[in-house]
Amino acid sequence: MLLAMLMLAACSREPAPRAALSQDVYVWQRQWTPALRAALTASDPQVARWHVLAAELGVSGRWIDVAPDAALLAGTGKPLLMTVRINGQLARFDAAAIETHILAQVEAWRRSGIAPAALEIDYDCPTARLPEYTAFLARLKPKLGATALTVTALPTWLESPRLDGLLAAADEATLQAHAVLDPRQGLFDPERARVWMEQFAKRTRQPWHVALPAYGSRVVWDGNGGIAAVESERPTLAGGVASELVAQPRQLARFVAGIERSQPPGLVGIAWFRVPTGDDRRAWSLSTWLAVLERRQLQEKLEVRFADAGAGQADGSLREVVLDNAGAADAPLPTRIRIETGCAGDSGGDGINGYTMESDARGRYLRLTQAGMLRAGTRRHVGWLRCQGTAGDATLQIGS
């Protein structure tokens, strides 16, 4: 009877909570600025491994090599993945030349005192090129010695039977779950990402990570509705109609909590793209970034107010509409800001910086036309109103 009671008690216990997933971070910047060094130092306690961009082969076939801060990276004491980016639209894949350049970069890292724990190949090739890519990896791996070989993988490869051979040729893989769809569908879709992860878990026998976004992008469309340029960590000079894609911190925090509660088989960690810096205006703020890494509650504090339009407005009729985020986390821009005014002499107004002024039966409001985030501790001028009377004659309300 005692044995039966013990067995019943064991069966009734709550299952042990799943351990938090380890967190890798991509360092994708080509220039090692003071802001980048500060971001690495601040983030390092929460980071398991650094994926550091070492070289990039452009669509033209020209290499761009990146010289990282060897002393700083070595000082972190964390495993380093030397990441080589190969443009997926590369017309001719010269396997021998690419291998020679990569091995030279590995040796250069070793000479600088930062022997990589792994070489990561980031090649978003078309599915039809998977056999060629797999053969390249199989030839490269024995030449790396004790350095592991890892690859990034696209969801578009999941339907191909050739994916199994590619994954078997590497020691580890990272499934890219952001910026893989038509930009019209956004930067990140949590439901699709979960489906891709479940499918990927069935295809690989190796440990794997999932790459998640901590940034935004600006997509420029040409006159025919095609993509003229995508601007993320580096600005472009392309003109045309543009739209902003944003990875929402709250959405990503919820997604991480969900996959930690119910981890797909083989998933060992998250690879965040990319480490944010003060120089990178489309990445999250450092305070938001650290809150997500540390699984802390995100605390935004959006406020809207009128501001003095400054000199040259002797009659005081022109007022600027300003959004403030006094919180410690980045906040999504509100979709609507209602302007309730009863002042006499209403004569004009408009939205700016992603807002336009419109009217309905209730009166005027500012409507968001360009998605975005307001970083913690910053402000944005979003409109102006010309109205005779005192400041108390008009009020602003978010989200109505």
Per residue, the 3-state secondary structure of 227-274, as one string, reads EEEEECCCCCCCCCEEEEEECCHHHHHHHHHHHHHCCCCCEEEEEEEC
Q: Is the pTM of this model over 0.75?
A: yes
What is the identity of the amino acid at 123? Y
pLDDT at res. 181: 83
pLDDT at res. 9: 47
pLDDT at res. 44: 97
Tracing tokens 């569908």 back to the chain, one arrives at 185
pLDDT at res. 368: 96
| Cβ neighbours of 99 (radius 10 Å) | 14
Residue spans of the chain under pLDDT 50: 6, 8-16, 311-312, 391-392
| Cβ neighbours of 7 (radius 10 Å) | 10
What CA–CA distance (Å, rounded) separates 129 from 253? 35
pLDDT at res. 197: 98
Residue 373's beta-bridge partner residues? 332
pLDDT at res. 90: 95
pLDDT at res. 317: 74
**Can you tell me whether residue 215 is helix, strand or coil?**
strand
pLDDT at res. 370: 87
Cα R_g (the chain), whole angstroms: 25
Omega within 30 of 0 (cis) for the link into 274: yes
Supply the angle between the helices 286-293 and 34-43 in degrees, to the nearest 10.
20
**Can you tell me whether residue 399 is helix, strand or coil?**
coil
What CA–CA distance (Å, rounded) separates 210 from 195? 12
Strand order across the 336-341 sheet: 355-360, 363-368, 336-341, 394-398
pLDDT at res. 252: 97
What residue ranges in 274-335 does DSSP mark as E strands?
302-308, 318-325, 331-332
**Can you tell me whether residue 141 is helix, strand or coil?**
helix
CA distances to 145, 280, 330, 384 from 247, rounded to whole Å, are 38, 14, 11, 28
Q: Which two tokens stand for residue 297?
A: 């509650």
Q: How many residues does the chain have?
A: 400
